[in-house]
Structure 1
Amino acid sequence: MLSKDKLIGTPDNLSPEEVRRFDALAEEWRKPDGAFHTVLEFNRVRLHHILNEIQRHFGNTPLSILDVGCGAGILTEPLARAGHQVLGIDASAVNVRVARQNGWELSAHLSYRHCLSQTLVEEGARFDLVLNTEVVEHVPNPTRLLQECGDLVNPGGMMVVATLNRTWKSYLIGIIGAEYVLRALPRGTHSWQAFVTPEEAADALTPMGFRCDSPRGMSYNPLTRRWRLSSSDKVNYLMSAIKDPSIQQDT
């Protein structure tokens, strides 16, 4: 049996510095006044959008869901509570441990693995919905990660990508504002050069048979400390992509 603390997969699309950073912050995810307190509010809006997308595309059908870069499980748990079969994976063993500790009572619908998306591709795994949220900006090769996640989507299934756009506005708001002025995120959480534009995400997925919807933006009000969906995708955005059901995959 493999050790739960051993990373499963060849970590050639992995930044050790990023993993160490999130290892150190793993215990902060769920603290209302912790380093990621604004992320909890962000997650509320993100989750609402994802549930709406599930209803729009799949109706009330229970789904198999993969959350890539699941962190401490703040997105996986509510999806499992909604009746879906959810697997969360993360490159941080500490994140996986914290997620397991918090989601143990949902074991019938929720599981975690310390592995990479590449591992699941090699195993031939497939899911109805793959979530790629706030992770592509933390790997050396975002295109490769998007394509690996695309391989993991069943024909007719969906991927949801959520990340930061690479614009001057995202630099001012997402880094200077969030990390240095408001201190809503720990300094060094993001590198502006690593941000991925919606066009770049679509360019990675379209050749794989995905139809990418127009991205939805997200904006933060520092006075109310609330996030909301926005018509502008110049900072944060969410994008759904549906995989052509005629595409056949080896199993």
Structure 2
Amino acid sequence: MTDTQTTVDPAEVAKFEAMAAEWWDPKGKFKPLHMLNPCRLDYITSQIAAEFDRDLSAESPFAGLRLLDIGCGGGLLSEPMARLGATVVGVDAAERNIPVAQAHAAQSGLDIDYRHNTAEALAAAGEQFDIVLNMEVVEHVADPLAYLTACAQLLKSGGLHICSTLNRNPKSFMMAIVGAEHVMRWLPKGTHEWSKFITPDELFDLLSKSGVTPVDRKGMVFNPITWSWSLSDRDLSVNYVTASVKP
């Protein structure tokens, strides 16, 4: 990693370093992400297809698109994007995540450029992408606006930025902190800090200030009866995702 000024929070990185080996265990510490992943992918693929006029039924619908998965972890999103034909760069500030992601991609026969790096360092190096995926990361950084500005700088003109995070309200505290960490034990206690959660209006404001134009937002809602996630136009009370374009 370079010495470029960064918004990385070392304490947050340490949390995920400790869980790195479990990324691909659907019953392990990242069980919530495995459960959420189909819902995330539904939103991501539909937004990319709409923005770049791609047919998702084609063999490699995202061929020719360069995509950055920032905060890639073990590659839960990088791998499906590569399978859809995108040229994928996966970046994470937690160094131990990278060999885990590289090993799994090799086992899967996928060519993904995984790097231990930061958004700020990539922006300083002049890297450019058609798409930046920024999923469940912004609530873990030290300076959200500086971080989102670096992400915006990484986009080509006309590029697409997809960002998901957690709303900040009493319900999200009960669901994401009390429920997920203390009751269900889906995540280690202390994984999230409720004070770092960001409301949809706050995120739209931060995105606008960063240099992109927000164009869409949807909730990702967990149904405890069907034990599944779905997208919602109305319920953004806990998990939600946004799409923005760079002018």
Q: What TM-score comes out, normalization by structure 1 length?
A: 0.90
Residue aligned with 1:130, SS: strand
Between the aligned residues of both structures, percent identity stands at 42
CA deviations on 1:133-160 (whole Å, 9 max, x unpaired) are 1001111111111111011111011100
Per the TM alignment, residue 23 of structure 1 is displaced from its structure 2 partner at its CA by 0.8
Task: Give the distance between the partners of 1:138 and 1:55, measured in 2 at CA.
Answer: 29
**Conserved? CA contact 1:165–1:196, under 8 Å:** yes
Task: Give the distance between the partners of 1:200 and 1:90, measured in 2 at CA.
Answer: 25
Is 1:55 aligned to residue 49 of structure 2?
A: yes
Task: Give the distance between the partners of 1:12 and 1:85, measured in 2 at CA.
Answer: 25
Amino acid at match of 2:15: R
Task: Give the distance between the partners of 2:180 and 2:226, measured in 1 at CA.
Answer: 15
Distance 1:178 1:208, change over 3 A: closer
Task: Give the distance between the partners of 2:3 and 2:105, measured in 1 at CA.
Answer: 24
Distance 1:156 1:239, change over 3 A: same
**CA RMSD after TM alignment:** 1.4
Q: In the alignment, what sits opposite 2:186?
A: 184
**Conserved? CA contact 2:6–2:118, under 8 Å:** no
**Conserved? CA contact 1:161–1:240, under 8 Å:** yes
Per the TM alignment, residue 195 of structure 1 is displaced from its structure 2 partner at its CA by 0.8
Is 1:21 aligned to residue 15 of structure 2?
A: yes
| Matched ranges for 1:58-73 at <5 A | 58-60=52-54, 62=63, 63-73=65-75
Amino acid at match of 2:2: I
Q: In the alignment, what sits opposite 1:238?
A: 241
Amino acid at match of 2:218: R
Is 1:201 aligned to residue 195 of structure 2?
A: no
Per the TM alignment, residue 207 of structure 1 is displaced from its structure 2 partner at its CA by 3.7
Distance 1:157 1:24, change over 3 A: same
| Matched ranges for 1:92-241 at <5 A | 92-104=94-106, 105-107=109-111, 110-230=112-232, 231-241=234-244
Per the TM alignment, residue 72 of structure 1 is displaced from its structure 2 partner at its CA by 0.4
Task: Give the distance between the partners of 1:125 and 1:12, measured in 2 at CA.
Answer: 16
Per the TM alignment, residue 114 of structure 1 is displaced from its structure 2 partner at its CA by 0.5
Task: Give the distance between the partners of 2:126 and 2:26, measured in 1 at CA.
Answer: 38
Task: Give the distance between the partners of 2:210 and 2:12, measured in 1 at CA.
Answer: 28
**Conserved? CA contact 1:87–1:113, under 8 Å:** yes
**Conserved? CA contact 1:143–1:201, under 8 Å:** no
Number of equivalenced pairs = 236
Structure 2 stretches lacking a partner, 5+ long:
55-61
**Conserved? CA contact 1:159–1:240, under 8 Å:** yes
